[in-house]
Structure 1
Amino acid sequence: MTIRVLNGGLLTTVQDLGRYGAQKYGVIASGAMDAYSLRVANLLVGNQENEGALEITLWGTSLSFERECMIAITGGDLLAVLDGEKAPTWRPLLVRKGSVLQFKSPVKGCRAYVAIAGGIAVPEVMGSKSTYLRAGIGGFRGRALQKNDVLMCGKSNQSNLSLWNALSKSDEDVPWAVNYEALVSLKQEQLIRVIRGTDFDRFDTKSQTAFFSQPYHVTTHADRMGYRMEGTALSLAAPDELLSEGVTKGTVQVPPSGQPIILMADRQTTGGYPKIGQIISADLSTMAQLQPKAKVHFQEISLEAAERELLRKEQVIHEIKMGIRFKELYS
């Protein structure tokens, strides 16, 4: 089964949940910016949650399906159009041979995900199919997709086949879809929850207060490596030189300009800027869906509350998984 790229769009890459265990060698984690959307997309077509899928950014991507297949589109609403009609999202979808899927423009959110039954047949590098653009490894030849690239699909498993058979029984669209709002929000003004960073106490009182009380905006300097924010400038209580130390997805660093930088999926492995906060894991997918100029309000939350919120969302994923399994067995 093959999919031909008619237009690679602004940025389309193969991503899974990331490449872990090699950061000590300077190899970044990469992976999906919006992990919840990728996981659900894979579940909807019967794949393992960590299977590689396409991450599509903002607009322009166009794909031609050279054989019939089953896909799921999740994440942001980028005006997905299948053969000239608005494509159903957040549910499995049978695509006929010769069909063309296009992503026209962002309506809500910033990134969409397309999972294909059987996954995408690209080699794993250090245990992951994720594309690490700066190093040119993983994904499809270590780069973003381009016109005339051809993707091969992996071998279908029993879950893929069961869902395919369930969908094939009816000529009508699937009458159900996942309610994604319990996992990720696509609104462009967000309350993003943060725990105090390791250097929070190094900032002066005015900056500590401003970070949690004043709005910040996503600038146009926002990509898979990090989001530069714009708002009230933050400053240390006293000049200080810090040693570089490990950082992770969602770390909020403050460079000398005083404008925060939020590290994302393609973040570096270490950083030397003071860290005022850490976005909680449960809110990272929502952060990843913010477009440039989106407004963010940071809210302080305790580590214990952050853990509870993460567990709550994992329970939502579990319920989605069980619901899809039920459809697979009894449709």
Structure 2
Amino acid sequence: MSIRVIRSGLNTTFQDGGRPDLYHIGIPFSGAMDYRNYQITNKLVGNNLNDAVLEFALQGPRLEINENNINCVVTGNVTFTIKKNSKIYDGECYKTFTLNGGDEIDIICTNNSVYGYFSISGGFKLEKIWNSYSTHLRSNIGPNKGKKITDDDNLQINKTLTAYNQNKINYLNSRIEFIRVLRGTNFDYFSKESQKLFFKCKYEVSNITDRMGMRLNGYKLENLKNENIKSEGLVKGVIQVPPDGKPIIMLSDHGTIGGYPKFGAIISADYDKLVQLPPLSKVKFKLVNIEDAEKIFKFYVMETKNILDQI
């Protein structure tokens, strides 16, 4: 049983919850960029919350279904159409729909966002690599030989049930007022003016942004020590500052070590919002302390659970 890829879209890969606890051997975390939407996707089609999904960026794939009675869902701020019996219908995100052999789904684009997700009941037939279905492109680790989905691929799917309850949730992706940040281990390397203006000025998301990192255009941070540090461990969300003073935020496919000073770190609860910022969009940051970050994260976890419990 399979789904044929007519058009692969931009940066379409298999992803799951990631590869924790492997940084020490140089393997990045990877995984779905927008974790909440990823979990909602799986819950809507009745899969385990950590099953693999297709993640796409900006433009999604066009897919032809080769089997009958395939229950599907698309999540994110996404425009897509469904072709059934030669008729084309507008698709609705966060609502499951059933497709049969010869039907098509065309995921046209994301709207004011970057990442969207597609999955089916029963999930995709894949083998885990390093205990995960996630794809890390730079090291070719993951399903599909660690590569992007390409045109004319046939995606193998698991046997599915013959009957489904249609699921739908009214979910609005959070609006962004600011992204909250903790002080980094090298925060004091930077001038007082830089420490102040980073949180006062708006930054622009650079076109040079991918699953590995987000570059920011705007006020350049001044490193008073004018030096890098000895390479040390990184985690996603860390804000590194290279010699040109332009901040780079480490995203899910980041390298496991780095030698640029660490100005700060995005709090975990705001990471989903951050990664959905499209190129050339504006973003403002707000400094918080560790106690506030922990409270915000507990609320994020509770809110996510409440959303999933509604499905």
Q: Is the 1:34–1:75 contact (alpha carbons within 8 Å) kept by the matching residues of 2?
A: no
C-alpha displacement at 1:233, in angstroms? 0.5
Partner AA of 2:262 in structure 1 = K
Distance 2:256 2:208 in 1: 20
- Match of residue 97, structure 1, among 74, 97, 101: 101
Distance 2:164 2:148 in 1: 33
- Match of residue 122, structure 2, among 118, 122, 130: 118
Q: 1:108 to 1:95 in 2, by over 3 A?
A: farther
C-alpha displacement at 1:155, in angstroms? 4.4
- Match of residue 286, structure 1, among 255, 263, 273: 273
Q: 1:272 to 1:314 in 2, by over 3 A?
A: same
C-alpha displacement at 1:60, in angstroms? 5.0
- Taking structure 1 as the reference length, the TM-score comes to 0.88
Q: Is the 2:55–2:115 contact (alpha carbons within 8 Å) kept by the matching residues of 1?
A: yes
Q: Is the 1:76–1:289 contact (alpha carbons within 8 Å) kept by the matching residues of 2?
A: no
Partner AA of 1:76 in structure 2 = N
Tell me what 2:178 maps to.
Answer: 191
* Paired residue total: 306
- Match of residue 207, structure 2, among 220, 234, 237: 220
Tell me what 2:146 maps to.
Answer: 142
C-alpha displacement at 1:82, in angstroms? 1.3
- Between stretches 292-301 and 1-10, larger displacement belongs to 1-10
Deviation string, structure 1 residues 150-191 (Cα, Å, up to 9, x no partner): 1112244xxxx59x4323xxxxxx6x424243xx44x6xx41
- Between stretches 228-237 and 311-320, larger displacement belongs to 311-320
- The correspondence of residues 174-185 of structure 1 with structure 2, limited to 5 A, is 176-181=168-173, 184-185=174-175
1:231 equivalenced with 2:230 (yes/no): no
Distance 2:159 2:265 in 1: 39
- The correspondence of residues 237-252 of structure 1 with structure 2, limited to 5 A, is 237-252=224-239
- Match of residue 110, structure 2, among 106, 109, 116: 106
C-alpha displacement at 1:315, in angstroms? 1.3
C-alpha displacement at 1:302, in angstroms? 1.5
- The correspondence of residues 274-313 of structure 1 with structure 2, limited to 5 A, is 274-313=261-300
C-alpha displacement at 1:203, in angstroms? 0.6
Q: Is the 1:178–1:320 contact (alpha carbons within 8 Å) kept by the matching residues of 2?
A: no
Distance 1:125 1:302 in 2: 37
Tell me what 1:166 maps to.
Answer: 165
User: RMSD of the alignment, in Å?
Assistant: 1.6
Unmatched 5+ residue regions in structure 1?
Answer: 168-173, 325-331
| % identical equivalent positions | 35
Distance 2:280 2:126 in 1: 35
Q: Runs of 4 or more off by more than 6 Å in structure 1?
A: none
1:11 equivalenced with 2:11 (yes/no): yes
C-alpha displacement at 1:32, in angstroms? 0.8
Q: Is the 1:217–1:296 contact (alpha carbons within 8 Å) kept by the matching residues of 2?
A: yes
Distance 1:76 1:272 in 2: 36
Distance 1:316 1:3 in 2: 34
Tell me what 1:73 maps to.
Answer: 74
Tell me what 2:136 maps to.
Answer: 132
Partner AA of 1:243 in structure 2 = K
- Match of residue 205, structure 1, among 192, 195, 199: 192
Q: Report the 3-state secondary structure (helix = DSSP H, G, I; strand = E; otherwise coil) of the residue aligned with 1:134.
A: helix
Q: 1:8 to 1:165 in 2, by over 3 A?
A: closer
Distance 2:95 2:135 in 1: 25
Partner AA of 1:2 in structure 2 = S
Tell me what 1:38 maps to.
Answer: 38
Distance 2:101 2:295 in 1: 45
Q: Report the 3-state secondary structure (helix = DSSP H, G, I; strand = E; otherwise coil) of the residue aligned with 1:165.
A: coil
Distance 1:250 1:178 in 2: 29
Distance 2:77 2:18 in 1: 20
Distance 2:60 2:205 in 1: 22
- Between stretches 112-121 and 255-264, larger displacement belongs to 112-121
Q: Is the 2:137–2:146 contact (alpha carbons within 8 Å) kept by the matching residues of 1?
A: yes
Q: Is the 2:76–2:110 contact (alpha carbons within 8 Å) kept by the matching residues of 1?
A: no
